[in-house]
Amino acid sequence: MTLTPWRGLWDLKFPTLKEEMDKLFEDFFGKSGFQSLSEGGWFPPLDIYETKKDVIVTIDIPGINPKDVSISIVDEKIIIKGERLKEEESKDETCYRAERVYGSFQRIIQLPTDVVGDMAKATYKDGVLKITVPKSPRVIPKEIKVEIE
């Protein structure tokens, strides 16, 4: 049985339009304007949410040793860097499909509010990195009861 590469509708119906659009973006942004998957960069998915006291970032990075990940907080930005290394390939193998992404990544996340970066904590469980950063005390809402006379 012969395997045939899958081609999407875009490739089948509009090959020249796709090439022209690629060229247009390349001319405008340059080849390094967007880091593509073919260049080894990737962007692991993440979620950002906040509670009354904290800003929480969760990022999916399965297969990465947490010791190979660096986390920095500068002003109201979290910078996460890491790398997923590719396993050794055997010369005897024939690859039919390769969808997992390897290489280095960097995510710079603008936080929605002022934070206390010195008190940030990070945990890693089941391939998910969770970063908890306390909000600055000046932005935490404080309830003040006012007595009626």
Domain that holds residue 61: 40-86+99-139
| Residue 34 pLDDT greater than 50, yes or no | no
CATH of residue 108: 2.60.40.790
Is residue 129 in some structural domain?
yes
The tally of domains found in the chain comes to 1
- Whether the CB-CB separation of 135 and 113 falls below 8 Å is answered with yes
Residue 118, pLDDT score: 92
Residue 75, pLDDT score: 83
Is residue 144 in some structural domain?
no
SS3 53: coil
Is residue 51 in some structural domain?
yes
Is residue 110 in some structural domain?
yes
**Strands 121-125 and 77-84, bridge-based pairing:** unpaired
Is residue 25 in some structural domain?
no
Is residue 71 in some structural domain?
yes
| Residue 32 pLDDT greater than 70, yes or no | no
Kindly state the average pLDDT of the residues 140-144: 75
d(C-alpha 90, C-alpha 149), whole Å: 82
Is residue 53 in some structural domain?
yes
- 41-97 pLDDT, tens per residue? 688 999 999 999 999 999 999 989 899 899 999 988 999 999 988 877 777 888 788
Is residue 81 in some structural domain?
yes
Q: Give the closest residue to 100 by CA, choosing from 40, 10, 34, 35.
A: 40
